[in-house]
Structure 1
Amino acid sequence: MSTVRPSLRHRALNHWLSPGVLAGVRPGLWRRLRTTHGVDARYWPRAVVTGLAARESDKWAERQRRAAGDLSDIRVEAPVFVLGHYRSGTTRLHNLLARDPLFHAPTLLEATNPWTFAVAERTLRQRLRAVLPPTRVFDAVEVSPDMPMEDEFAICALSGCSHLLRYAFPRNWDALERFLTLDEASGAEVDAWRGAMLQFTRLLTRQRRKRLVLKSPPHTAKIPHLLALFPDARFVFVHRHPLDVFASMRRLIGITLPAATFHASGAPDMERAVVGTFRETMHAYLDARTSIPDGHLVEVAYDDLTASPLATLDHVYRALGLGTPPPLAPEAPFTPAPQTMLDHALRQRLGRAWGDAFDAWGYKV
């Protein structure tokens, strides 16, 4: 895997001028978000770029709507959802599943341009190639317009009802947590989220004509909603030692916030933020996993995925009845980045806060 560091130009674009998690929004949603949450003066350049990009999306959106036509009769066939908390190995498994030619995983281009990708793909690809860094800012995963991407970005741009908004507006972090499980969301917000999921997956199904493989960590806390929309869906849950998740997640937030925020101050305490989201995600998952039909859920360990990726993939296919995985060339050995050691007091706090997760998969504090 490449470890090329982003150039100074790419870092500057990402830090000051990228719309961040709001890539692909249209003007109406952008206006509502900035009115509701505010934009600090320090991030006006990012706000200007976001507004210009929103206007560009608007130019193509009506053309895509006419081209796509009525999507209500499109059936999304048994999508496969990769579940798990951030930094648990979901990207690695998603990338492996996406190599199957019978599947389609939303690409970066599609997920960040859900209003326009079906009619502006060539233009969007050229623009993305000009601005994308060679790797993600928080790890060594290579970046390209066609890399598999979280559909959460599309949900955010289509509905504004996304857990990703916390990174754009961290002063309102706690209020935006409602988009994790949707339990505290309004009826209108739940309807908007569901509408966005159907719009995006139906359009992908029409355009690509393949079974979808979807990965977004917040989906882990929304199993009842996913089953309501896709009762024949399959689920793969990836779990990792909670202490390693905490260390990696704390680093991720520290890197992601500056690249996405419109707030110069008011970010939450990192420990409290990570602890709360992980606890709520795992509680929601553990409560809902028994509602998934037999044979539609398989759980895999991060350690197995990194040590034996192809054997783990074969296990997933057999457990979910997906047939036979395609022959894949062995990957280069994967070495996870070393994690920061956590002090004893912090480990004990995490053990108490996340006891259910430690117990569920046999991890030790």
Structure 2
Amino acid sequence: MNETTLPEPQEIHINDMADPVITPMLEAARQGPDDRPAHMTVDEVLAQAVANAGGLDDFGEDQSFRERMAVTLQAWDEDEGLTRGGRITLLDHLVRVMVNRLRIEDIVKRHPEILDIEIDRPLFIAGLPRSGTTHLVNWLARDERLRSLTLWEAEEPVQLRDLAPGEVDPRITRSAELWSAFEAVLPHMAAMHGMDAASIHEDNELLYMDLNCYSWEFQSRIPRWIDYYFAHDRTPSYAYEKKVLQVLTWHRGPNRWLLKSPQHMENLAAIKSVFPDATMVITHRDPIAVLRSLTTMLGYSDRIRRDPIDPPALARLWMERIERLLRACVDQRDAWGPDQSADILFHEYMADQEQVMRQVYDLAGLDLTPEVEAQLLGYLNENPRNKHGKVIYDLEGVFGLNEAAARERFSFYYDRFPVRHEG
């Protein structure tokens, strides 16, 4: 591959992490709309979802999500550091995913043939946050033989009406407006994890519909919910995700899916149970490097949703959470044999991305045609690392976390997967 000489990325230093400068736009986001409740009950959430869905009221036969919702709401009520705007954002998200569930159940009821659609040998990508999974899934999505999930489609999976010729799907417009407003308040987010409506997104949004998505943890501090989550089998929620994938395939094929989420790393056995013919690719990166990047990203965005910010508490929380995730990964890794899975070390991936591409295609039994190879290599040229600037991380100075001590906690992971320590 020909390499283009690129200018050195601009360094981004976030110097107000613990005590952010509060702009009028940020203050408005922290306060939230005056006419919206900051606390809701399960019944109130479901009633609002029914209203927003135009009167649809069938959430499906399995009602176990109600208990998970009750735990979620209680955990949010116990999170005293959330701003009013942060609470409203979470509740809005909860209502939206319940609207999506109503629409999924409605379309399956009207078109029961959807449940006969085969989800053929899906390709799952798992790996810690900030370990290259977003880059990998957006890269492989250039292959149009694979069905991937855009951000706007993840947020609203059911198409409500046919579009006129040349009409832009209003779901795209809504998603673009939402994330444009978010990045206007937090301009450095694009350099850490830009959210573009057309980009390929995690399938976490599909797990939200069964109230079993770990991404609530990125927006709030909810130990009650985490304990409940790990104490219960997540297999039924992946079965619900399969139903959503069938609906999405019915709207638009093909039926071989490309999916990714860090959450999959702690649910390897559940995925193997629901998708036995899948291919599983797991990226592995030094957890300390992940913590540096993740705490900075979350600490920066916490200025919207938390008061006070408390970066050290955030770092401790995520050190414990990542340890829990990695222990689950190690415990469940043998659910996948070498004929259906691969472990990709981050430093090897960054050193030779083309080799990783060939490894994944060989594992998945996909023919790497010259046309597809040209599309994939074109993506690499268009999307170099640090395209939007390079954020400078300081896990010890800003977040008060002793890196040497933290490495000791992750020794079990280093023993299983030979990731390179990143200084």
Q: Sort the TM-score into its range (normalised by shorter chain).
A: 0.7 to 0.9
Cα distance, 1:57–1:73 mapped onto 2, change above 3 Å: closer
Partner of 1:95: 138
Task: Write out per-residue CA displacement over residues 246-294 of structure 1, whole angstroms, 9 at most, x where no aligned residue.
Answer: 1012112213445567x98999922321222221222222222222133
Cα distance, 1:37–1:264 mapped onto 2, change above 3 Å: farther
Shift of 1:216: 0.9
Of residues 112, 126, 134, the one that matches 1:69 is 112
Of residues 194, 202, 225, the one that matches 1:176 is 225
Partner of 1:166: 217
Q: How does 1:189-208 map to 2 (within 5 A)?
A: 190=234, 192-208=236-252
Task: Write out per-residue CA displacement over residues 19-52 of structure 1, whole angstroms, 9 at most, x where no aligned residue.
Answer: 9xxxxx9646798577534557723654785588
Shift of 1:119: 4.4
1:213 aligns with 2:262: no
Q: How does 1:133-148 map to 2 (within 5 A)?
A: 133=180, 138-140=189-191, 141-148=193-200
Q: How does 1:262-341 map to 2 (within 5 A)?
A: 269-324=313-368, 326=372, 327-328=374-375, 329=378, 330-332=380-382, 333-335=384-386, 337-340=391-394
- Please provide the CA RMSD for this pair: 4.0
3-state DSSP class of the match of 1:77? coil
Aligned amino acid, residue 284 of structure 1: A
CA distance in 1, matches of 2:159, 2:308: 32
Partner of 1:363: 420
Of residues 155, 161, 173, the one that matches 1:126 is 173
1:85 aligns with 2:141: no
Task: Give the conservation status (yes or no) of the 8 Å contact 2:235–2:270.
Answer: no
CA distance in 1, matches of 2:32, 2:161: 25
3-state DSSP class of the match of 1:269? helix
CA distance in 2, matches of 1:258, 1:15: 8
CA distance in 2, matches of 1:258, 1:229: 39
Aligned amino acid, residue 176 of structure 1: W
Task: Give the conservation status (yes or no) of the 8 Å contact 1:82–1:216.
Answer: yes
CA distance in 2, matches of 1:97, 1:195: 24
Shift of 1:69: 3.4
Aligned amino acid, residue 165 of structure 1: W
3-state DSSP class of the match of 1:236? strand
Shift of 1:150: 0.8
Cα distance, 1:49–1:177 mapped onto 2, change above 3 Å: closer
Aligned amino acid, residue 319 of structure 2: V
Report how many aligned residue pairs link the two structures: 347
- Unpaired runs of at least 5, structure 1: 20-24
Give the alignment's TM-score, normalised by structure 1.
0.78
Aligned amino acid, residue 295 of structure 2: R
Cα distance, 1:104–1:135 mapped onto 2, change above 3 Å: farther
CA distance in 2, matches of 1:271, 1:306: 26
Of residues 214, 229, 232, the one that matches 2:274 is 229
3-state DSSP class of the match of 1:81? strand
CA distance in 1, matches of 2:93, 2:297: 22
3-state DSSP class of the match of 1:76? coil
Partner of 2:60: none
Shift of 1:79: 0.8
Cα distance, 1:347–1:212 mapped onto 2, change above 3 Å: same
Give the alignment's TM-score, normalised by structure 2.
0.68
Task: Give the conservation status (yes or no) of the 8 Å contact 2:126–2:133.
Answer: yes
Shift of 1:102: 0.5
CA distance in 1, matches of 2:244, 2:262: 17
Aligned amino acid, residue 405 of structure 2: R
Cα distance, 1:77–1:53 mapped onto 2, change above 3 Å: closer
CA distance in 2, matches of 1:307, 1:17: 44
Task: Write out per-residue CA displacement over residues 149-204 of structure 1, whole angstroms, 9 at most, x where no aligned residue.
Answer: 11112211x1112212224442xx2222247xx5412x6xx465134212222222
Task: Give the conservation status (yes or no) of the 8 Å contact 2:284–2:346.
Answer: yes
Cα distance, 1:311–1:10 mapped onto 2, change above 3 Å: farther
Give the percent of matched residue pairs that are identical in Structure 1 and Structure 2.
17
3-state DSSP class of the match of 2:257? strand
Shift of 1:363: 3.1
3-state DSSP class of the match of 1:124? helix
Task: Give the conservation status (yes or no) of the 8 Å contact 2:31–2:84.
Answer: no
Shift of 1:230: 0.4
| Greater RCO (CA < 8 Å, at least 6 residues apart) | 2
